[in-house]
Each structure stands twice: as C-alpha cells, then as structure tokens.
Amino acid sequence: MSKTFVITGSTRGIGRGLARELLARGCRVAVSGRSAAGVSSAVAELGAEFGVERVAGAACDVADPEQVRELWRTAADAFGPVDAWVNNAGASAERKPLWEQSDEDLRRVVESNLTGTLFGLKIPVAAMIEQGGGQVWMTEGFGSDGAAQAGMAAYGATKRAVRYLRKALLADTAGTPVQVGTLSPGIVVTDLLTGDYDPASEQWEKAKRIFNILGDRVETVTPWLAEHLLAADKPGSRIVWLTRRKAFARFALAPFRKRDLFARPA
C-alpha cells in the first residue's frame, strides 16, 4: 500500500536516500531542507525519476513553527492525508570542548536537533489527530543511548533527548490514533558525519578506522529503513540498523574484512 511521507532534511544524505527508496516503493514524498534551491533541485530530480505527481517539497527551517506548518500544508495540498512524518533534519558542530564552541554553533545544533524536533512533533501530531491518524518518527544519533565522547556535548545532549521524547510522546498520544516511533540509522557516511572533522588531523584518522568497521553508505542503509518504516504498525516502534549484535560481529570480523567507505570512485 502506498503511503504519503514528509521527510525533513531530505535534500541530501540519509533523508534524500530515504525519500528515494520510499518513492521506489510506490509512496508519495514531500521533501524539505533549508535551501529553496536545494529543495527545487531534489523535487525536479526525484520527480523526473518517479513522477512529478508523487513528489512535492518546501524549504523549511524546522526551528520555525510557521515553516513547519507550511511544510505540512504543502504535503496535504499535494497528496491529501499525511501518513508519516519523519524528523530527520539535523546539525552538528566541530568536535571540540563545549567552552570552545561558538555561540552560533551551539544555537544551530540545539535549534535544528531539539527545537526542530519539538515542532516536528507538535505540529504533525495535532494535524494527524484531526485527520484521524498517522505516524511521527524521530531520528536517533550519537548520545541517544547515553554514550558520551569528548567534543560531542551539544550534539549528544540533543540526541539523548530523543529517547525522552519517545517516552513522553507515547504517554501524550495514548488513546489517540497517532503512533510515535524512532529511527536509528547507525553510522552513515554523510556530510553530517564527516563535516566536523579536520581531514588532516590525527583525530580524523582514528575516527575513520572506527567508521570503516561500523559505518555504512546511504545506499546500503536506506532501503532497509524504508522497508521497516512501511512495515511498522504499532506505537513505540524502534527501527535500529546497527544493533549491538551487529556491531560486535563487525569488530570480530574487522581483521579479516577490509573496508574503505571513503575511497573515491575510480
């Protein structure tokens, strides 16, 4: 059965890959990102591949509630009822101690990852209750499980909040036709993952070794995520790509399995 999805932060990276995989499975998708030009390009490219009638989009700063409402209206006007809203938009900052982070970077990370998720729950949940049902999804990341790492205070804190929000929203939506769930895509090679490292640094070389063991490319992860999103049918669903068992197995096989996710195509 085809469904209508709204995916924030979907002009590139995991969001773009997820939009493409859902479209490939017959769904309708509204894409979004901060850049109007980026949204227009994504809509044009995906529409050319899957049909313009199944792709819509709107520029959206998720920290601005009016822009989030406009994104909902864009999807509803194009497709009718929205079956699922995926809060995927996120931001990170250069990995360094909290007191060395710029005020602007801290504000950007919190506004995108936390404030944006709050509005990306509040607004679609209200609309879904009115329309008679739907699903809202949040995206986990480093820190969601309580792990901590130097240089990750702001990002990790915002992602830790996702676990609390899941519990709180499950309580809030009990007795309503809205289902709340979380996505955990694991370590995926995107600009969000690599952009806050100095590629000439020792820190990057150490991180890259771990990424090559535990990480994956967008085109590996997003088909699996799309299939599980479409199959999810109960409140509180967690869709987890990199399970503890899978991580343990990859570390065990690492000496025998050489991977280079960062190699440039020939």
Catalytic site residues?
Answer: 155
Q: Are 18 and 45 in contact (CB under 8 A)?
A: no
Q: How many CB atoms lie within 10 A of CB 112?
A: 21
What are the tokens at 40? Answer: 């227009």
**110 SS3 class:** helix
Amino acid letter, residue 115:
T
Amino acid letter, residue 178:
V
From 110, 116, 224, 235, select the one nearest 166 (Cα to Cα).
235
CA angle 74, 114, 227 (to 5 degrees): 60
Dihedral, CA of residue 123, residue 30, residue 239 and residue 169, to nearest 10: 0
DSSP summary character for residue 245: H
Terminal CA-to-CA distance of the chain, rounded, Å? 39
